[in-house]
């Protein structure tokens, strides 16, 4: 096979792993979705932590 017809893992997108594809493509739908829900997720976790602390203080 010549260099032109030989496919390597770096040049063939079907042979690359999914994680390297995610790392190489910042506009991937999974990353953009995570960036969209990150503030709401952080607020929800902070609220859940406050509620748990309140229950701990009440139960003492």
DSSP letters spanning 16-48: S-HHHHHHH-TT-HHHHHHHHHHHHHHHHHHHH
Residue 15's contacts (CB-CB under 8 Å, 6 or more residues apart) are 7, 9
* DSSP structure class, residue 8: -
- pTM for the full model? 0.47
- Please write the tens of the pLDDT for every residue from 15-45: 555 555 555 556 677 778 888 899 999 999 9
6 pLDDT higher than 80: no
What is the reported pLDDT for 3?
Answer: 55
């Amino acid at each position: 096979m010549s260099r032109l017809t030989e496919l390597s893992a770096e040049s063939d997108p079907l042979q690359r792993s999914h994680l390297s594809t995610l790392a190489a493509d910042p506009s991937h739908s999974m990353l953009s979705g995570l960036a969209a829900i990150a503030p709401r997720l952080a607020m929800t976790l902070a609220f859940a932590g406050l509620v748990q602390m309140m229950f701990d203080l009440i139960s003492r």
